[in-house]
Amino acid sequence: MGGILVIAEHRQGQLRPVSIEVIGAAVAAREAGGERVTVAVLGAAPAAFVDALKLAGVDEIVTVRTQTDAFDPDTYQAVAHALIEARKPSLVLLPHTIDTLGYAAPLAVKGNYGFTTDAFGLARDGESWIATRSGYGQKVNMEIEFPGRASVVVTVRPGAFKAPEGAGTPEVSEFDAPALAPRSHHESFEEPAASGDVDIAGADFIMSIGRGIGEETHVEQFRELASSLGATLGCSRPIADSGWLPKAHQVGQSGKTAANCKLYIAMGISGSVQHMAGMKHVENIIAVNTDPEASIFSIAKYGIVGDIFDIAEELRGHF
Amino acid sequence: MKILVAIKQVASLDEDFELRDDDRDVEADFHVFDLNEWDHYALEQALLLKEAGNSDIEVVVVTVGPERADEELRKCLAKGADRAIRIWSDELEEADSVGVARALAALARREAPDMIFAGVQASDHAYGATGMALAGLLDWPHAAVVAGLEYTPGAGTASARRELEGGAYANVTVQCPAVLTLQLGINTPRYASLRGIKQAASRPIETVAPDALGLSADETGPRGSLSRIRRVYVPELGRAQMIDGTPAEQAARLAGIIKELRGEA
């Protein structure tokens, strides 16, 4: 027994890229422990995902046929529980995503498995697994251990691990889902709101505003500044939640990824994990913030500790 | 009718904080406490249901924490919560989110609410686990990251709009009673009125120990937890190249960088 079990995630027929990163985390972790890597995929027609999961370092792919393709927390919990009880993996890796937030904790408490979330580091200490995650708004790192737990469930931060390079030749098997009657029912997906004239994913230059702008009446001056700089106006979550800018402007996990951005100016944005998920890959990030300890400065290339209104006012004169 | 709202007193850090001697946490002197941002939304959703409902709805807020957490419960009372409960014993100091959820589950069994709300995550450690662990312990239906909710108190189901990645949503129907974790933006939280704040100052907060809720010593604190913090450390972070000077000088340098990157200089 033992081994590392990964549960893949897909939505609307597409394997989510984070699944491949989690497999990368498992493959890296096996090098520390030498255990088999098994990837499970659940769905109405799970075989459709098998080819995409045949990656270097994967020993086995397990398909599990479920009633529907759409995510259901009871189904994922029950299947994961049955798989863990059948295989007794030492480590179970799940992506730290919206879907997993719905079933990882119930899975852990029902099985009494070791459990932590949003890990960006994994290590072996003898027979035990150690996970590293952040605490206090990313001001510290926390090493988490799981005393006395034979199986440990860890959700993995998107963007923290690299996908495996190259293909593999894993064996493929089937696993029967346990009988269950889910207590919730997926009705429909809603696509992202129409973006109108805003294209965060396509923009090469974005200037984003955050909570630091203070009031809705201040949005306009930054809209004008973005326009004169030739930048697309982006924002962090609180600005969109307040209705000060349409959701299409939002950069981050629940908004858009600045996929083609070369230059990103963050004005009054502290840099939550969720915001950084949408922009930390940008090569040139410039952060303007009054708080010298703001997380955004840890990923920015250039930083200005200062008042965004003063900087904005001065910047106007240059364009 | 009763809605239970689980809240947390979160800690942020003072500048130049120091670690505890055992390196397993930050020295408590450097903690700055507040009500978790998500909990404002969870409480607001309960209060909106209370105000919209024809039936009599009691909104009960509960937290697991030491005496200082009363301050956050009072903020909830000031906004309109009917009752506040604080669960504590010293063993809970070492509880992880599952250990906290076990205490909340024991309280929920006593209170028998019709619905439980919690925040998606807490702003300090962001486990995103406590609310859903509570659902697992109670074996209740559940949905996480709910950004929209249609629910008539007493109804057998609720319609929840789960926020997904990339600006999409999934609409689900959930059997009730249920545990839902609510996302930022689901509503616009109210501010407490001055009158509410004054009244909350003198209202009672029930305090209860886990054993009084029927939790055994094996389920409380570290023994009821599924993880343990081994070590906390300050990571080596990247550091931006800082542009110093007056705002005019900083802006001039910024303008230069923008022009250079855009191939204009």
| Model confidence at A1: pLDDT above 60 | no
CB pairs under 8 A between A and B: 259
Distances (CA, A) of B60 to A63, A78, B195: 44, 31, 20
| pTM metric for this prediction | 0.94
- Which residues of chain B does A303 touch, with a Cβ-Cβ cutoff of 8 Å? 239-243
| Model confidence at B179: pLDDT above 70 | yes
- Which residues of chain B does A107 touch, with a Cβ-Cβ cutoff of 8 Å? 136
Q: What is the CATH superfamily name and number for domain B2-213? A: HUPs (3.40.50.620)
Check if the beta carbon of residue A103 is closer than 8 Å to that of residue B131: no
N-to-C CA span, chain B = 67
Q: Which residues on neighbouring strands pair with residue B175, listed in sequence order?
A: B157
Residue partners of A232: CB distance under 8 A and separation at least 6: A198, A199, A200, A203, A205, A206, A207, A226
- Whether A15 and chain B come into contact, CB under 8 Å, resolves to no
Q: pLDDT at position A34, please? A: 76
d(CA B198, CA B78): 8
The DSSP symbol for B83 reads: E
- Which residues of chain B does A313 touch, with a Cβ-Cβ cutoff of 8 Å? 247, 251
The verdict on a CB contact (< 8 Å) between A318 and B257 is no
Which residue has better confidence, A31 or B78? B78
Beta strands at B83-87 and B206-208: parallel, antiparallel or unpaired: parallel
The verdict on a CB contact (< 8 Å) between A287 and B173 is no
d(CA A233, CA B75): 36
Task: Note the ipTM here.
Answer: 0.95
- Whether A299 and chain B come into contact, CB under 8 Å, resolves to yes
Residue partners of A187: CB distance under 8 A and separation at least 6: B159, B171, B172, B173
pLDDT tens column, A139-153: 999 999 999 999 999
Buried b (16+ CB within 10 A) or exposed e, A128-164: bbbbbbbbbbbbbbbbbbbeebebbbbbbbbbbbebb
Element (H, E) at A18: helix A17-33
Nearest CA in chain B to A135: B125
d(CA A187, CA A183): 13
- Whether A113 and chain B come into contact, CB under 8 Å, resolves to yes
Distances (CA, A) of B256 to A48, A81, A230, A315: 51, 57, 14, 10
d(CA A119, CA A102): 17
Concatenating the DSSP letter of every residue in A129-150 gives EEEEEEETTTTEEEEEE-TT-S
Buried b (16+ CB within 10 A) or exposed e, A234-255: bbbbbbbbeebbebbbbbbbbb
Residue ranges of domains in chain A, CATH in brackets? 4-176 (3.40.50.620), 205-318 (3.40.50.1220)
The verdict on a CB contact (< 8 Å) between B240 and A300 is yes
What is the domain partition of chain B in residue ranges? 2-213
Q: pLDDT at position A191, please? A: 87
Q: Average pLDDT of B90-111?
A: 97
- Whether A159 and chain B come into contact, CB under 8 Å, resolves to no
- Which residues of chain A does B262 touch, with a Cβ-Cβ cutoff of 8 Å? 205, 230, 263
Q: pLDDT at position B265, please? A: 59
Check if the beta carbon of residue A154 is closer than 8 Å to that of residue A28: no
